[in-house]
Structure 1
Amino acid sequence: MNQLIEQILRETNYWSNSYFVHLNNGTFDKSDFVETQIQFYSAVEFFARPMAALVSRIPCPDQRLGILRNVWEEHGEGDRDRFHKFTFLTFLQRLDGCTFEDVTNRVLWPELRIFNSTLEGVCNSDNYLIGVGTMGMIEQMFSDISFFIGRSVVTRGWITSSQLIHYDLHEKLDIKHAEDFFAILRTAWNSDPHTHDSIEQGLRLGATLFNGLYEGLFQARSRRWLRGNLANPNIVEDNKLIQEAV
């Protein structure tokens, strides 16, 4: 199964994703990057909920424990200030002075709704192995992505290494989280060949979904959708052009 995971990651080739290519070569405008990260807050805030739903669908009690621990860690191990949604808000504040009001004033982009709704559906209604595979692959990818984004924002001078928060944690934590999901898959994979298709579907779904989210974020990076302006989103862009002209 490890070979399958590596194969899917190679085929997905997410390091050629426009989001990471432009962040790496310095052509990702900071204001656009910040806007995509504000949108990404929704994924951070939501991620533990389908994970928690998935726990109840895992048949083996012993296997549930690892995922329950992941849910607990997503909630700062009971420390409210360390809830991952709050550490991400701190990252946004240190990155560009963003407040919670700035985040809630944005209209959620469809790219984020697709991501969140897909996780909700697969974890609540699909074969549990598909859900486990999907979540495990996202955790695996996010460990590497967290290291890359953390290094990039420091290299760009957008934040200092001492200010970096959230991404430095997930760089390490999500390796363990991914392994907790993969351990469940390996047990099924090694004991029942009939599970292979479901496991592969889940792994591929996770890789495709997460890679697609970042590609979609980059393509939509110039959006500035604020509440009250969705009926005519061009208003925000027109105002931006006027301000630049002045």
Structure 2
Amino acid sequence: MIPWVQLDSAKTPDGGQELRLKQRGAEFSIMLGTNELMNSRLSGSEEALAKLSCERIVGRSQPKILIGGLGMGFTLRAALAELGADAGITVAELVPAVVAWARGPMAALFDGCLDDPRVSVREADVGHIIRSDKAAWDAVLFDVDNGPEGIVYKGNDALYSAAGLGAARAALKPGGVLAVWSQGPDSGFARRLKQAGFVVDEVKTRANGKRGARHVIWIATLA
């Protein structure tokens, strides 16, 4: 069997943990300690995050999408495939090394999508962008952690709080969509979404087509 090789590492934003980029043949993995955050063979649920969101805003002129978390680009590539030439997609990535990995060792995996004229990458906290832009986005997608809990960065907890969801609501255009990826269900978070004024659809999806772990996507729309 081909062994894993560590290509690089980077501290999490609070400096308390370490992200590691590993490669085995053509396969990539991003690890946080012993926890695998993402793997290049498992893209199904991240792609579903983009497709389900874009379905809700089909037909809009010049749609603006904000994606929290670059990762391995699965959500971004799927959104580009769903949206027309007039769309604009901003990706907020808090860890500069992840952007460097996308343009460096994982460039083939990204297949040039970062150079698409519809795409803008900002090395910033998606929460800060949301709070500064009112009624600016047709859809906001959260894929910044393993779910509504800040495993990689505890500061992400604020995104999923009542105040954070209120800020996300204010950042959306009328009829906009907030979509959140999670490795598993969370009844408390679903309840907070509804309390924030969203109509909520909880979708279960697989990590890899019809196989792999079951993940959850919340599609929250403004009534």
TM-score, structure 2 as length reference: 0.27
Which structure's residues are more often helix, by fraction?
1
**Rg larger in structure:** 1
TM-score, structure 1 as length reference: 0.25
